Amino acid sequence: MRIKITFTVQKGRKVIMEVLKVVILAIVIMCFVFLALATQILLKKGGKFPNTHIGSNKYLKSNGITCAQTYDKIEQAQARKELRFKKIAIEDSATETDSTYLC
């Protein structure tokens, strides 16, 4: 019985060491990849990641193409303006009808 238990523990330690080697290797590879991606930022004075957002692309702006978030904000602003206009129109018509009854 004792021999089986010690053999199993030793085998478990070997498996843990193998997994640990793979995890450490993955961490080292990821560090290398991040450094490779950041070379422009690290080596260039005032370097920063390029802005790949649609709103910052001059060519798309010149063609009138905007991102979905910007388009949504524009549409919501127009809807609010129309709602305010309708509300003002309703209030104006209500005050006009009230004044005709008062006279």
Residue with tokens 């060491």: 17
Does 58 share its domain with 43? no
Domain boundaries, position 66: 51-103
Give the rounded distance of the alpha carbon of 63 from its chain centre.
Answer: 25
Rounded CA separation 62/59 (Å)? 5
Per-residue pLDDT of the chain in tens (103 residues, 90 and over written 9): 555 555 566 677 888 888 999 999 999 999 999 888 888 777 877 777 777 777 777 888 888 877 888 888 888 888 888 877 777 766 666 565 555 544 4
Rounded CA separation 60/68 (Å)? 13
Rounded CA separation 103/96 (Å)? 11
Does 38 share its domain with 66? no
Count of structural domains within the chain: 2
Does 25 share its domain with 44? yes
pTM of the model: 0.42
Does 57 share its domain with 38? no
The tally of CA atoms less than 13 A away on the side-chain side of residue 5 is: 2
CB 38 within 8 A of CB 45: no
Does 59 share its domain with 85? yes
Rounded CA separation 80/88 (Å)? 12
Provide the token pair at 67: 């991102």
Does 24 share its domain with 62? no
CA-based nearest residue to 51, from 60, 42, 64: 60
Does 81 share its domain with 40? no
